[in-house]
Amino acid sequence: MLTLQQAADTVSSIFAPVSTPAMKEASLARMVLALSLAVFVVVGGLVAYSVVRFRARPGEHASEPPQVYGSAQIEAAWTSVPVILVVILMLATGRVIHEVQAAPQPANAVEATIIGRQWWWEIRYPKLGVVTANELHVPVSDSLVRLPTYLTLESTDVAHSFWVPRVAGKTDLIPNRTNHMWVEPREAGTFLGQCAEYCGTQHTLMLLRIVAEPPAQFARWVEQQRQAAATAPADPVAAAGRRVFLGTVCASCHTVAGTAATGKSGPDLTHLMSRATIGSGAAPNVRDRLRAWVRNPDDLKHGVLMPAMQIDDQYVDQLVAYLLTLR
Amino acid sequence: MTATGIPLTAPTEKDVPSVFNRLRDWAVTVDHKQLGVMYIVFALGFLVVGGIEATLIRLQLAVANNHVVSAHAFNVLFTMHGTTMVFLVGMPILAGFANYLVPLQIGARDVAFPRLNSFGFWVTCFGGLLLNASFLTPALVGGAGGPDVGWFAYAPLTEPSYSPGKATDYWVIGLIIVGFGSIAGAVNIATTILSMRAPGMTLGRMPLYTWITLVVQCMILVAVSPLTAALILLLLDRALGAHFFDTQAGGSAVLWQHFFWIFGHPEVYVLMLPGFGFVSEIIPVFSRKVIFGYPVMVAATVAIGFISVSVWAHHMFSVGMSPAANTFFAISTGLVAIPTGIKLFNWLGTMWGGRIQLRTPMLFAIAFLIQFLVAGITGVMLAVVPFNWQLTDTYFVVAHFHFVLVGGLLFTIFAAVYYWYPKATGRMLSERLGKWHFWLFVIGFNLTFIPQHFAGMLGMPRRVYTFLPERGLEIWNLSSSIGVAFQLAGGACFVWNLIRSFRRGAAAGNDPWDAWTLEWATSSPPPVYNFAGLPMVGSRRPLWDLKHPEDPDWHYE
Amino acid sequence: MTAIPVSPATVPWTLPRRGPVAILFFILAESAIFAVFVSAYLYYIGRSLTGPTPREVLHFPVVMTVCLLSSSLTIHTAKRALARGATATFMRYWLATILLGAGFLYGTAREWYELIAVHHLTLRTNLFGSTYYALVGLHASHVIAGMGMLIIVAAFGLMRRVRAEHAERVDVISTYWHFVDVVWIVVVTVVYVVGR
C-alpha cells in the first residue's frame, strides 16, 4: 500500500542534513546533545552514586544521620553552573535563529509558493509560471553559485506544517497568515517529508517530497512544466478519456493547461505523470493505483475530500488512459 | 508506633450501616478526606480509560501500515487520550491529594469551604461524563463518534466548517465545566492554606508539599481561567456564529494558540509541581534527613510559578514569529529550567549523607529523579529554537512530555500512594507487590518512551495513524508498543495491591514511616475531626521536635 | 538563632479571614478570564472585513458609567453603616445600589436594542460584533450575578435578618461589586475610547 517504488533516500534523519538551514540546525543540535549528555552523566551518576553509597546498612536504624539544613555556598555553586550552561545555549540559539530566519534573499533565488490544503500541497512558482502539486523541485546550490529557494507558505483551510527533515526545520502554513522559509540543498536527490501539524482525518497521508536537481536539469523541468497539455492524444482510448474528463465533473475541480478544464479545488493535473506519487503520497503513481484512485479515492486515502464519482468502469479506463498521457 | 504523646481517640464501634447508607454517606459528604478519596478513585478510573486509549494507539502504531483502527478512530483516540489524562486524571488526582493532605498537614479540621469542595468534585464528575458522552455522537465518516481535533484543538480545525457535528461541542462544554471545578477547588485550597493553619505554623514552617500546593492553586487560578475564556469564545464561534477563530472572516488561528498555551504551559507545571511536593516529603523521610535548603526550595517554587507564565510561546516556535519573539521565549524557557534544576540538586543534597531506605515510595522517587532529569534535559533541548524547528510536533516532543508526566508525575503519584495509603486506610501496601509494580513499570515506561526520541529525530511527526515502512521507524515503534505490556502488567500489580491490602495489609498505626509532619500525629485513618489535640508547631518538623526534644529543628531554622 | 517555644495559648495567632481571602482569589481568576476577552477585543480592533465599525455605532455610555461607579460609593456606604450597626442606613444605601445597578443594565439593554434593530450588528456580523458582544456581555453577566446577590441580601434585610455580625459577608459581596466596577472602567476604555 504505502511502499515506495521510486528510488529515494527514504530515511529522513535530522542528523543527515543536505540543505543549509538543516545543516545549521544539525550542528547546533549536536552541540546541545553533547552538553546534555554530559549533564545527564554527571547528575545521573551522582544520584546513582548516592543511592549506593548512602544506603541504610542493617543495624543503622537506631540513630539518625547528621541533619544538614542547607548551605548558601553550595546553593550558589549549583545554581551558577546551570546559569552558565543556559547562557551558552541561549547565545548559540540567538545566533542560529538570526542566521536562519533573517537570511537575506539573494536576487537569483528561486521563489515558490506553497499553499496547504486538506490534505495535499499546492505548489506554484509565480515568476516561472509553473503550477504543480505535492512535489517541490528546486535547484541544487553550490558554494560558488548559491541558488537557494525561498518559499512563501499559505493555507486555504486549516493549519499545516511544511517539514522535510533533511532539508529544513518546519514552518507552519496558517490560514489568513503568510509565512516564509528557505531551503538550499547542496546535493541532488529526492528528500521525503510530510505535514507536521495535525490538520484533520488524513494529516498522516499529506506527504511531501523535495526533488533537488542540478540547475540545468531544474531548468529543463521548469520548461517542461510550463508546456500546456497536448491537444488530442493519438490513442483513441485516451482521446475518449479526454472527452470524459472535459465533459464531466473532473474539469470543475482540476486544471489541465491548454484545455477547458480550469478547476481550482484539486491539484493541477497538466503534468500529473511527472510526479512520483498520487494523493500526496498515498500511493505510487502507476496505472493500477491511478485507476483505483479514479474509481474511488477513499479506498486509497480514507476521508479524502475528492468524492467517488460513480463512473462506469469503461469510462474509468478511458480516463486513466488519458491521464497517463499527461506527462 | 512512635510515642508522640498525643491522646488518640479510636473511632467508636457502631452497628455497620447498610450498603445504601454507606453509599449515601459518600454521595452527600463534605468531608475533605472522603472527597479526596473520591477525586482519586475518579481519576484512577479515568486512568484506565486513558490507558485503554493509549494501548489502542500503540497497537495501531506497532508496525507500519497497520489496520487496528481507522484513521478517524485513531484521531479520536489521541484527542481523548490527551484530554482524559490531563483533565480527568492529572488534575483530579492532584486535587484529591491536596484535599486529603492539606488540612492534615496544617492541623485543620477541614478545608475553608466544605460545601464548595463537594460542589467542585461533582462538577468535575459531570464534566468528565459529558466529555466522554461525546463517544456516543454520530460518526462523521463511519466508526465511533468523539472529538478528533487533538487535545489542544487548534483553530480553525475546530470551527464548524471543519469539525461539523456535535462531538467537538461536547469537548468544549465538558472542559468548561471541568474548569469550573478546578477553579472552585483552587479558591478553596488556597484560602484553607492562608486562613486555617494551626497555631505556630507560620508560612515558613509549612511542609513543602503544602507550600507547593499553595503556589499551584494560584497558578490554577491564573492559568485555567484563560482556557475557560478561550473555550467560551470557541463555543460562541461554534454555537452562535461568532468569528473569533474564523480565518475566513479575518479571525486569527494564532490567537487561539496564544490563548491555549497561556493556559497550557502553566498547566504542565500545575501538574508537575505537586509531584515535586510529594517527593519533597518522601525523600527526606526515607533518607532520614531534613530537606536540604527549605527556603531555597520555596523560592524556587515561587520562581517557577512566575516564570512559567512567560514561556508559553515555546509551543509555537514554528508558527513564524519574529526572531526577537523566538529569542525571548527561548530565554524565558531556559530560565525556568534553573529553579527546576536547583530543586533536583536539593533532593540530591538531602539524600547525600543520609541513611536511605529503599522502600517502595523511595524506589519510585529515585526513578523519578533520573527520569525527570531526562525530561528536563529534553525540555532545554526544545528551548533551543533552531533545534526545536526540527523537533516540534514530532515524537521527540511526545517522548519529552511523557517523560515529564509519566516518568515524572505518575511515578511521584505512585510514590505518594504507597506513602499515604497507610494513613488513609490504616493498612500497609505490600512491599513485594510494590517492587513488582515498580520494576515492571520502570522497564515498560522506558521501553515505550526512550525510542520515541529517536522516532522524532528520524522524521516521524505527531498524530499520525501510521508510518511508511522504509523510513527507519519500525524498530522504535515496535519497542515502544512492547513497553505497553510491561506497564499494563505493572499497573495490574498496583491495582491488585490496592485492593488486597485494604483488607489484608499489615496494620499501619499512626506513623509507620517515622515521619515528621502533622498528618502522622493522628490515627490511621484519621477521625472525622482529624485531630483531638495538636502538637505545638515550633518548626517545620513538629514531630521531629517531639521525638528529638534534645535537638529540635527550631535550633537550626 | 534559638526560639523559645511557647504554648499555643499564649502565641498571638491571627490568620486572614477566609471570606475576604477567598473573594480575592476568585477575583484573580476572573481577572484572567476578562484579560483574555479584552486581549481578543484589542487584537481585533480594525480587522473586521465588513462594517459596521465602532465609530459608526457606539456612543460613550455616560449615564451607565455614572450609575455603576456611583453604585460602588453607595455599596461602600452601606457596608460601613452595617459594620457600625446602622441597619436602616444600610438598607437605604443597599437598595440604592440595586437601583443604580438596574439602571446600568437598562442602559445596556437599550444600547443593544439599538445596535441590533437599527444597525443590524450581531455576534456574527463581523469581528467587531463578535468581540463587542462577548466582552460587554461577559461584563453584563457579572453585573447580573452581582445583582442576584444584592437582591438576596436585600430580601434578608427586608425581613430584618441582616445585622452587624454579617458585615464581613456583606463586605465580601461589596468587594466583588467593586471588582465588577473596575472591570467596567477597563471595558469602557477599551471599547469606547481605544477601540473607536
Domains and CATH numbers, chain A: 8-47+78-226 (2.60.40.420), 236-323 (2.60.40.420)
The verdict on B208 and B275 lying in the same domain is no
Are B458 and A13 within 8 A, CB to CB?
A: yes
- Span A123-144, pLDDT tens digits: 999 999 999 999 999 999 988 8
Residue ranges making up the domain that contains C29: 19-194
Q: What pLDDT score was predicted for residue A175?
A: 97
- Span B319-374, pLDDT tens digits: 999 999 999 999 999 999 999 999 999 999 999 999 999 999 999 999 999 999 99
A74 touches chain B (CB under 8 A): yes
Whether residue A208 contacts residue A134, with contact meaning beta carbons closer than 8 Å, is answered with yes
Whether residue B182 contacts residue B230, with contact meaning beta carbons closer than 8 Å, is answered with no
Q: Which residues contact B150 (CB under 8 A, 6 or more apart)?
A: A198, B75, B78, B79, B82, B157, B463
The alpha-carbon gap from A32 to the nearest alpha carbon of chain B, in Å, equals 7
- Where does the pLDDT of residue B123 fall: very low under 50, low under 70, confident under 90, or very high at 90 and above? very high
The verdict on B237 and B326 lying in the same domain is no
User: In chain B, how many domains are there?
Assistant: 3
Specify which residues A194 forms β-bridges with: A207
The alpha-carbon gap from B243 to the nearest alpha carbon of chain C, in Å, equals 6
The mean-pLDDT minimum among A260-264, B137-141, B532-536, C61-65 falls in B137-141
CATH number at B218 reads 1.20.210.10
- pLDDT at B9 exceeding the cut of 70: no
Q: What pLDDT score was predicted for residue A229?
A: 83
- pLDDT at B5 exceeding the cut of 70: no
| Cβ-based contacts of A55 with chain B (< 8 Å) | 355-356, 358
The alpha-carbon gap from B260 to the nearest alpha carbon of chain A, in Å, equals 15
H-type alpha helices, chain C: 18-43, 54-57, 62-83, 87-113, 127-158, 167-188
| Cβ-based contacts of A102 with chain B (< 8 Å) | 323
Are C123 and B224 within 8 A, CB to CB?
A: no
The verdict on B233 and B339 lying in the same domain is no
Whether residue B413 contacts residue B89, with contact meaning beta carbons closer than 8 Å, is answered with no
Whether B314 is covered by a domain: the verdict is yes
Q: What pLDDT score was predicted for residue B470?
A: 87
Q: Which CA distances in Å does C190 have to A7, C32, C40?
A: 60, 16, 11
- Where does the pLDDT of residue A5 fall: very low under 50, low under 70, confident under 90, or very high at 90 and above? very low
Burial of B7 (0-12, 13-18, 19+ CB in 10 A): exposed
* Partner C, chain B 105-164, Cβ-Cβ below 8 Å: 112-113
Whether C44 is covered by a domain: the verdict is yes
Residue of C187, C20, C15, C6 whose CA lies nearest to C108 = C187
Whether residue B99 contacts residue B35, with contact meaning beta carbons closer than 8 Å, is answered with yes
The verdict on B53 and B134 lying in the same domain is yes
Whether B446 is covered by a domain: the verdict is yes
Report the alpha-carbon angle A97-A102-A108, nearest 5: 135
Task: Give me the residue label for grid cell 463517544.
Answer: B135
Q: What are phi and psi of A71, to 5 degrees?
A: -160, 120
- pLDDT at B140 exceeding the cut of 70: no
Q: What is the mean pLDDT of chain B?
A: 94
Task: Give me the residue label for grid cell 481578543.
Answer: C40
The alpha-carbon gap from B251 to the nearest alpha carbon of chain C, in Å, equals 7
- Where does the pLDDT of residue C97 fall: very low under 50, low under 70, confident under 90, or very high at 90 and above? very high
Are B323 and A93 within 8 A, CB to CB?
A: no
- Residue A190 parent element (H or E): strand A189-194
The mean-pLDDT minimum among A249-253, B405-409, C76-80 falls in A249-253
How far, in Å, CA of A124 to CA of A156, rounded?
14
Q: What pLDDT score was predicted for residue A9?
A: 62
Whether B15 is covered by a domain: the verdict is no
Are C18 and B534 within 8 A, CB to CB?
A: no
The verdict on B350 and B233 lying in the same domain is no
SS3 content of chain B, % helix, strand, coil (to 5): 70, 0, 30
CA atoms lying within 13 Å on the CB side of residue B90? 25
A176: left (phi over 0), alpha (psi -120 to 50) or beta: left
Largest interatomic CA distance in chain B: 74
The verdict on B428 and B286 lying in the same domain is yes
User: Mutation test of the interface with chain B: which of A49, A67, A153, choosing the one with the most B Cβ atoms within 10 A?
Assistant: A67
The verdict on B475 and B537 lying in the same domain is no
CATH number at C33 reads 1.20.120.80
B299 touches chain A (CB under 8 A): no
Whether B258 is covered by a domain: the verdict is yes
How far, in Å, CA of A152 to CA of A115, rounded?
8
The verdict on B263 and B294 lying in the same domain is yes
- Where does the pLDDT of residue A61 fall: very low under 50, low under 70, confident under 90, or very high at 90 and above? low
CB burial of B63-81 (b: ≥16 within 10 Å; e: otherwise) equals ebebebbbbbbbbbbbbbb
Q: Which residues contact A135 (CB under 8 A, 6 or more apart)?
A: A123, A209, A210, A211, A275, A276, A277
How far, in Å, CA of B209 to CA of B278, rounded?
6
Whether B7 is covered by a domain: the verdict is no
The verdict on B245 and B257 lying in the same domain is no
Task: For residues C12-26, give the mean pLDDT.
Answer: 94
- Where does the pLDDT of residue B375 fall: very low under 50, low under 70, confident under 90, or very high at 90 and above? very high
How far, in Å, CA of A6 to CA of B504, rounded?
64
Are B217 and C16 within 8 A, CB to CB?
A: no
Cis peptide before C5 (omega within 30 of 0): no
Whether residue B58 contacts residue B444, with contact meaning beta carbons closer than 8 Å, is answered with no
Whether C2 is covered by a domain: the verdict is no
The verdict on B64 and B130 lying in the same domain is yes
Of B248, B253, B388, the CB nearest to A159: B253
Whether B13 is covered by a domain: the verdict is no
Are B229 and C32 within 8 A, CB to CB?
A: yes
Task: Give me the residue label for grid cell 466582552.
Answer: C135
The verdict on B145 and B217 lying in the same domain is yes
- Where does the pLDDT of residue B91 fall: very low under 50, low under 70, confident under 90, or very high at 90 and above? very high
Residue with more model confidence, B166 or A254: A254
Are A12 and B471 within 8 A, CB to CB?
A: yes
**Three-state DSSP class for residue C56:** helix
Q: What are phi and psi of A18, to 5 degrees?
A: -120, -5
Residue ranges making up the domain that contains B112: 27-249
B369 touches chain C (CB under 8 A): no
Give the three cell numbers for residue B404.
Answer: 515529564
Q: Which of B214, B249, B284 is the last residue of a domain?
A: B249
- Span B300-310, pLDDT tens digits: 999 999 999 99
The alpha-carbon gap from B291 to the nearest alpha carbon of chain A, in Å, equals 7
- Where does the pLDDT of residue C12 fall: very low under 50, low under 70, confident under 90, or very high at 90 and above? confident
Task: For residues A237-256, give the mean pLDDT.
Answer: 93
- pLDDT at A63 exceeding the cut of 90: no
- Span B12-59, pLDDT tens digits: 556 677 889 999 999 999 999 999 999 999 999 999 999 999 999 999
| DSSP category for residue A209 | E
The verdict on B312 and B460 lying in the same domain is yes
Whether B4 is covered by a domain: the verdict is no
Specify which residues A150 forms β-bridges with: A111, A182
Whether C13 is covered by a domain: the verdict is no
Q: Which of B224, B249, B274 is the last residue of a domain?
A: B249
| Cβ-based contacts of B359 with chain A (< 8 Å) | none
Q: What pLDDT score was predicted for residue C10?
A: 53
How far, in Å, CA of B195 to CA of B204, rounded?
15
Chain B adjacent subunits, 3+ CB pairs under 8 A: A, C
A58 touches chain B (CB under 8 A): no
Specify which residues B427 forms β-bridges with: B507
Q: Which of B249, B281, B308 is the last residue of a domain?
A: B249
Total Cβ atoms within 10 A of residue A187: 14
How far, in Å, CA of B269 to CA of B440, rounded?
27
C102-106: long-range pairs with CB below 8 Å, 24+: C102/C147, C103/C63, C103/C64, C103/C67, C104/C64, C104/C67, C104/C68, C104/C71, C104/C143, C105/C140, C105/C143, C105/C144, C105/C147
* Partner A, chain B 465-484, Cβ-Cβ below 8 Å: 465-466, 468-472
The alpha-carbon gap from C120 to the nearest alpha carbon of chain B, in Å, equals 14
C124 touches chain B (CB under 8 A): yes
- Where does the pLDDT of residue B11 fall: very low under 50, low under 70, confident under 90, or very high at 90 and above? low
C120 touches chain B (CB under 8 A): no
Report the alpha-carbon angle B239-B244-B250, nearest 5: 125
- Span B383-412, pLDDT tens digits: 999 999 999 999 999 999 999 999 999 999
Dihedral angle over CA of A262, A266, A272, A274, nearest 10: 120
User: In chain C, how many domains are there?
Assistant: 1
Q: What is the mean pLDDT of chain A?
A: 93
B235 touches chain C (CB under 8 A): no
Whether B22 is covered by a domain: the verdict is no
B245 touches chain C (CB under 8 A): no
Report the alpha-carbon angle B253-B254-B258, nearest 5: 130
Are C33 and B233 within 8 A, CB to CB?
A: no
Task: Give me the residue label for grid cell 470543475.
Answer: A252
- Span C106-128, pLDDT tens digits: 999 999 999 999 999 999 999 99
- Span A288-309, pLDDT tens digits: 999 999 999 999 999 999 999 8
Give the residue from chain B lying closest to C123, CA to CA: B242
Q: Whole-prediction pTM value?
A: 0.94
Burial of C20 (0-12, 13-18, 19+ CB in 10 A): middle
Are B351 and A94 within 8 A, CB to CB?
A: no
Could you report the predicted ipTM of this complex, rounded to two decimals? 0.94
Q: Which CA distances in Å does A298 have to A121, A125, A286, C9?
A: 18, 30, 17, 78
